[in-house]
């Protein structure tokens, strides 16, 4: 895997247990220099070990240049990313990261509704900090399975925007349940909605908004993990490289990225689950079988780009702009 985008080295200056199974890391330049600027909703790629790169949202105030703050949920089912960060990365360690990237930017609007589920609070928290700093009108709704699994509660409750934040946890139903339908009952052209968290949480909020008539242009989301795919009926297909004319067979048990990598064709990848867009590749001919959560419905329908880390082909051949 090429690491050309992992251009920064940072030192872990602080590691904090924020909640059950959630640890935060503060990252700073080893020489005390300011870090590259970032905007609310941005993330960095972090190299955890050879061949394993993961994205983590920045959750500190966007005007802080002396540090980046990320939070990592321990996920036993992960391929080593979260457990590696929890178990192997300690204060004083050096990490290789990318400059901040933002696929989940905050659009200026008169009113903003923020929905956070579990670890999805990380980019949402950064947005709340930014909106409070600019005295914007917003509400934040933060859900988790239990109070013990809620990161940054004390920080939020001690902030100057605490009155704009509502907490919901399943183990304390007396605190009330999140009623998305009532919160989005009336579509409002001056309101933008942002949601981040587990895919089930995101899908619930988005489907409720769409059912109430909210246009897609006012709904913004970022997935942390890819959709569960049924690969039972997958078939092999060909990918052709436009620049060289080389053609390769992608068997049912391998991804396009894996086949190209084996044959010396390098594509920058990061999440390998179709959620980050790092590997996005132009398609010149053929019809992709889109399996990502990065492109929207219109972009899928255009069929002129796809994510080779997880998407496949509906046609016999895909010609790629490589």
Every domain of the chain and the residues it spans: 8-97, 111-223, 237-320
H, E, C per residue of 100-146: CECCCCCCCCCEEEEEEEHHHHHHHHHHHHHHHHCCCEEEEEEEECC
CATH of domain 8-97: 2.40.30.10
Query: Which DSSP letter does residue 278 get?
Result: T
Q: What is the arithmetic mean of pLDDT over 281-303?
A: 90
Contacts of 81 (CB under 8 A, 6+ apart): 48, 52, 54, 75
CATH 3.10.20.30 fits domain 237-320: yes
Contact 13, 67 (CB under 8 A): yes
Query: Which DSSP letter does residue 64 get?
Result: -
Which parts of 147-303 fold into alpha helices (H)? 153-157, 180-183, 199-211, 256-262, 297-302
Taking the model in full, what pTM does it have?
0.76
pLDDT band of residue 142 (cuts 50, 70, 90) is very high
Contacts of 228 (CB under 8 A, 6+ apart): none
The enclosing H or E element of 8 equals: strand 8-19
What pLDDT was estimated at residue 4? 43
CATH 3.40.50.80 fits domain 111-223: yes
Q: Give the residue, 145 or 195, on which the prediction is more confident.
A: 195
pLDDT tens per residue, range 223-272: 766 555 556 678 899 999 999 999 999 998 899 999 999 999 988 887 77
């Amino acid at each position: 895997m090429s690491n050309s985008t992992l251009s920064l080295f940072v030192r872990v200056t602080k590691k904090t247990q924020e909640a059950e199974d959630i640890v935060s890391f503060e990252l700073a330049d080893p020489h005390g220099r300011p870090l590259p600027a970032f905007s609310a909703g941005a993330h960095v790629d972090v190299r955890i070990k050879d061949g394993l790169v993961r994205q983590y949202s920045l959750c500190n105030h966007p005007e802080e240049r002396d540090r980046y703050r990320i939070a990592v949920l321990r996920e036993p089912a992960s391929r080593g990313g979260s457990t590696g960060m929890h178990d192997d990365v300690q204060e004083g360690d050096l990490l290789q990261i990318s400059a901040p990237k933002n696929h989940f930017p905050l659009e200026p609007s008169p009113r903003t509704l923020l929905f956070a589920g579990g670890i999805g609070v990380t980019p949402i928290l950064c947005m709340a900090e930014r909106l409070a700093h600019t005295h914007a009108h917003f509400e934040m709704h933060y859900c988790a399975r239990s109070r013990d699994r809620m990161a940054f509660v004390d920080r939020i409750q001690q902030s100057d925007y605490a009155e704009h934040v509502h907490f919901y946890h399943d183990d304390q139903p007396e605190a009330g349940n999140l009623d998305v339908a009532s919160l989005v009952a009336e579509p409002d052209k001056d309101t933008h909605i942002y949601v981040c968290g587990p895919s089930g949480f995101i899908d619930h909020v988005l489907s409720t908004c769409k059912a109430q008539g909210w246009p897609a242009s006012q709904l913004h989301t970022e997935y942390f993990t890819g959709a569960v795919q049924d690969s039972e009926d997958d078939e092999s297909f060909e990918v052709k490289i436009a620049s060289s004319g080389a053609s390769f067979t992608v068997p049912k048990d391998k991804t396009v990225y894996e086949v190209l990598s084996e044959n010396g064709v390098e594509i920058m990848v990061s999440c390998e689950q179709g959620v980050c867009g790092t590997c996005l590749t132009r398609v010149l001919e053929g019809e992709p079988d889109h399996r990502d959560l990065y492109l929207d419905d219109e972009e899928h329908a255009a069929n002129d780009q796809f994510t080779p880390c997880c998407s496949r082909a509906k046609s016999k051949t895909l010609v790629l702009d490589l």
